[in-house]
Amino acid sequence: MNGSCGITENAPRHKITTDVKGFHIMMAGEELSKRMQCELTTPIYYIERVRKMDGVPMAIEYTYYNKDLVPSLDRRIASQSIYSYIKNDLKLSIGFADKYFHVKQLSAQEASILGLEEGSPALEVEDYVHLSNGQLFNVSRIVYNYKTTNFYASNVD
């Protein structure tokens, strides 16, 4: 929870799979450029994925990546660990993440995807992830299945 690595790296004893539900490139526009701290005309990858742990849906990700900072993504990469690709192939150094937590009730669509009842509780996390040089490269909203997800945070001084 405190780190800035992805689900795959955080769950090494589990089989993590990914279904890419949406993938396209768009211009940031007014609202997204504010959230991503970039110019209005910055190209942005939008990726919607369902992450599964040991075959069970655990999270829905709605994710934006700044294409100027992460220059090459495709559906194949998005169906795996994007953070591993960024670190190992692009040789970018992920620095830190600001996380905002919200408790919500699932919409009918989210509940259907996660195999839960509409109105079930869910933890929603907004991630603002920066490279080690401070540049914001990734903004995500992740909705977690309360039955399959556990979190751990440590306080290191």
Tens digits of pLDDT across the chain (157 residues): 444 445 555 555 678 899 999 999 999 999 999 999 999 999 999 999 999 999 999 999 999 999 999 999 999 999 998 999 999 999 999 999 999 999 999 999 999 999 999 999 999 999 999 999 999 999 999 999 998 887 766 665 5
Phi, psi of 44 (to 5 degrees): -130, 135
The domains of the chain, with CATH numbers, are 7-145 (3.40.1410.10)
pTM higher than 0.85: yes
Which tokens sit at 53? 């742990």
What whole-number distance in Å separates Cα of residue 67 and Cα of residue 65? 6
What whole-number distance in Å separates Cα of residue 144 and Cα of residue 125? 8
Report the pLDDT value the prediction gives residue 74, as an integer from 0 to 100.
Answer: 95
